[in-house]
């Protein structure tokens, strides 16, 4: 089946630094990818929709200047957490769905971000 790969799986960074997370669709072209955030023992909350070649669409309450999304190719979207703070520590997950037909969304394996 289709695979979405996310990297890194874990990252620890210092407060004030920026961290980039990559999400790749390995065997299909994804014009749209989605970024979710998951706090411990909670559900996935959609942060933004990443659109290839155009600006991302952010959900209400998500700071676009803190969470920079770039979708420069049909197989890669990146999420950059800028000027990270401890409260940004979370599990970030991307997903993508093949553009053809009515198919499921595939999720990456997630990135555990810890800001110290």
Partner 1 sequence: QQQVKQSPQSLIVQKGGISIINCAYENTAFDYFPWYQQFPGKGPALLIAIRPDVSEKKEGRFTISFNKSAKQFSLHIMDSQPGDSATYFCAARPRGSQGNLIFGKGTKLSVKP
Judged by the rule CB under 8 A, the positions of this chain that interact with partner 1 are: 6, 31-32, 34, 41-46, 49, 91, 93, 95-97, 99, 102, 104-110, 112
Q: How far apart are the first and last CA of the chain?
A: 37
| Shortest CB 87 distance to partner 1, Å | 20
Cβ distance to partner 1 smaller for residue 45 or 76: 45
CB of 16 to partner 1, least distance (A): 26
Separation of alpha carbons 70 and 65, rounded Å: 12
Token pair of 79, please? 């999420």
CB of 54 to partner 1, least distance (A): 13
Q: Which is nearer to partner 1, 86 or 101 (CB)?
A: 101
Shortest Cβ distance from residue 47 to partner 1 (Å)? 10
Going by C-alpha positions, the residue among 20, 8, 23, 6 that lies closest to residue 74 is 23
Nearer residue to partner 1 within complex by CB, 7 or 82:
7
Contact present, 90 and 113 (Cβ < 8 Å): yes
How far, in whole angstroms, is CA 88 from its chain's centroid? 13
């Amino acid at each position: 089946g289709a695979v979405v790969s996310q990297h890194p799986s874990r990252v620890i960074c210092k407060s004030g630094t920026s961290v980039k997370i990559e999400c790749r669709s390995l065997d299909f072209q994804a014009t749209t990818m989605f970024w979710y955030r998951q706090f411990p023992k909670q559900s996935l909350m959609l942060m933004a929709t990443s659109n290839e070649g155009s600006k991302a669409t952010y959900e209400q309450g998500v700071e676009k200047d803190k969470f920079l999304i770039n979708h420069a190719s049909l197989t890669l979207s990146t999420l950059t957490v800028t000027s990270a703070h401890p409260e940004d520590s979370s599990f970030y997950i991307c997903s993508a769905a093949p553009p053809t037909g009515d198919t499921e969304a595939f999720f990456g394996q997630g990135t555990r971000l810890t800001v110290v």
